[in-house]
Amino acid sequence: MSGVKPASPRAALIAVDGVDPAEVLADARAALGSHVRGGISKWDASGVFQELAVADRSAGAPSARTLLLLYAADLAFRLRWQIRPALAEGRTVVAAPYVATALAFGRAAGLKPAWLANLFRFAPRPGRRRFVHLRRGRAAAVKGGFVGFSCDRIGPGPRARRRVLEHTAVELRRLDRR
């Protein structure tokens, strides 16, 4: 055993997924509500994307697959240092974003669903899932967050960026209907 006690009955993992980081964070706060014993686990807790953001252009552009591998590493960090310990203490944790955002981005970027499912099979299922859907015409306004950050790096221009953002939003709607 890893030394982490099993989650108490009051503990809850809530996933909030979406494209717009400001909207995802607002919904995460709403999902947390008045849980005094809880918190929000945010994307890039490990700082790996901050490091990538300051990388020299000569390092080249990362592929969607590379960005998803980094997302999985960051999620593993969040699970190890934030989510699982909080759950073991009986706290409510809102993961914003969680797995569905990465799956939707991967599908929008053309990666195979089986590869994506295998990549994130280590992540525990949340007790509740919430989706924040991108409002029409907002794709160009999305800044930051995993999807915005990734689109800024892989897209060869604003049109490609918008296309991947919009396809990610469509994939999230599809995942929400499941």
Q: What is the pLDDT of residues 46-68, one digit of tens each?
A: 999 999 988 877 777 899 999 99
The span from the CA of 143 to the CA of 18, in Å, is 13
Q: Contacts for 72-78 with beta carbons within 8 Å, 24 or more apart? A: 72/102, 72/119, 72/120, 72/122, 73/46, 73/48, 74/43, 74/44, 74/45, 74/46, 74/48, 74/49, 75/99, 75/102, 75/120, 75/123, 76/122, 77/45, 77/46, 77/48, 78/41, 78/45, 78/46
> Is 87's pLDDT higher than 80?
yes
pLDDT at 139: 66
117 vs 4, higher pLDDT: 117
Residue 112's H or E segment, with its range, is: none
pLDDT > 70 in the chain, percent: 92
Residue 97, token pair as written in the block: 């974003």
Q: Which is the CATH superfamily of the domain at 12-177?
A: P-loop containing nucleotide triphosphate hydrolases (3.40.50.300)
| pTM reported for the whole predicted model | 0.90
Q: What is the mean pLDDT of residues 19-40?
A: 89
Question: Domain-by-domain residue ranges, the chain?
Answer: 12-177
> Is 143's pLDDT higher than 50?
yes
- Establish how many alpha carbons lie within 13 A of residue 136's alpha carbon, considering only the half-sphere containing its beta carbon: 0
pLDDT at 1: 43
